[in-house]
Structure 1
Amino acid sequence: MELPIVLWSLRMTPSQATSYMPFFMVYGSEAILPTDLDYGAPRVRAYDEQGAEASLEDAMDQLDEACNDALLRSAKYQQDLCWHHGHLVQGQAFNIGDLVLCLIQDNKNCHRLSLPWEGAYVITEVLRPRTYKLKTIDDRVFINTWNIE
């Protein structure tokens, strides 16, 4: 029973990327809340049937401008995300002797509560940047090389 309320709140919250409400982006107008109709909000009382046709044409022009504005804001938002990731998220480099866990590549026999990591392994050799040779803690050599990208 809560789903319609949650969906309504999501559709009425302005997006961080476009700064427009999803309802506006889909329907091209601001939503009128049921409480606005019940209690006679100023914009409901100011509605004029004769001026609605001219107002609709103006709203259509504003809708094109709003869509272009939302497209530009979304592109800027994505550029900012790329910059943030490229400049602020640092890659990890390991040294010989560091303990690491490896991501399990074949999760065919795993269920959803299984750990996604295996190990611990010790780095024995740095082959090139971000590529390492590993061994288990009890000194058995791990045959494959490990690339952290």
Structure 2
Amino acid sequence: MVLQSLKSRIFNDASKYATKWLHELPHVIWGLRTQKSWATSYTPFFMVYGSEVVLPSDVVFGAPRIQYYEDGEAEKSRRVDIDSLKEHRVVALIQHARHEQQIWRYHDRNVRERSFNVGDLVLRRIQSTKDMHKLAAP
């Protein structure tokens, strides 16, 4: 009985918020595109467009780069960014390779290889198949 009430409460909460994710999705995607990657130290937006994004909060609160904006200087800066984009991508590629090497070193240091032979005893968790159909994941 307790399990049934818990299931119904979870289902009701999920249905209450079911349509809100669609409203929040653009904000989440924007956040992912404007956050620096650990692997490259650049934002995905910069890697695609060659310049840093102007955040809506910068516009609303009047960040210095918005307050001191000049068309001529912005155009010069944009040309410099476009000219140096290839260099930034090479730096990002090197940084990504370095990050990947660190991950491999961590893996090699902390993960131990095991091999099993026929006849070895292995602990296996037995799961109930009640209320599962033949295509359900075990």
- The TM-score, its normalising length taken from structure 2, stands at 0.66
Give the letter aligned to residue 84 of structure 1: Y
Shift of 1:100: 3.7
CA shift, 1:61, in A, is 3.0
Counterpart of 1:68 in structure 2 is 90
Question: Is the 2:40–2:95 Cα contact (8 Å) retained in structure 1?
Answer: yes
Cα distance in 1 for residues equivalent to 2:49 and 2:134: 45
User: Partners in 1 of 2:26 and 2:102 — Cα distance?
Assistant: 33
Aligned to 1:20: 42
Match of 1:40 among 62, 76, 86: 62
2:15 alignment counterpart: none
Give the aligned partner of residue 16 of structure 2.
none
Where is the strand percentage greater, Structure 1 or Structure 2?
1
Q: Name the CA distance, whole Å, in 2 between partners of 1:93 and 1:78.
A: 26
The one of 98, 108, 114 aligned to 2:121: 98
Distance between the aligned counterparts of 1:97 and 1:50, measured in 2? 74
**Aligned equivalent of 2:102, options 72, 77, 80:** 80
Match of 1:111 in 2: 135
What is the alpha-carbon distance in structure 1 between the residues aligned to residue 120 and residue 33 of structure 2? 52
Alignment gaps of 5+ in structure 1: 103-108, 116-149
Q: CA shift at 1:93, angstroms?
A: 4.2
Q: Alpha-carbon deviation of 1:97?
A: 5.6
Taking the aligned partners of 2:31 and 2:98, their CA distance within structure 1 comes to 25
Higher Cα Rg, which structure: 1
Q: RMSD of aligned C-alpha atoms?
A: 2.4
Letter in structure 1 aligned against 2:98: K
Partner Cα separation in structure 2 for residue 80 and residue 45 of structure 1: 41
Q: 1:111 to 1:18 in 2, by over 3 A?
A: same
**SS of structure 2 residue aligned to 1:84:** helix
Aligned partner of residue 71 in structure 2, secondary structure:
coil
Structure number with greater CO (CA < 8 Å, separation at least 6) is 2
- Structure showing the higher helix proportion among its residues: 2
What is the count of residue pairs matched by the alignment?
108
Letter in 1 for 2:67: R
**Alpha-carbon spacing, 1:69–1:97, altered in 2? closer, same or farther (3 Å):** closer
Percent identity for Structure 1 against Structure 2: 40
Structure 1 residue 10 displacement after superposition: 0.9
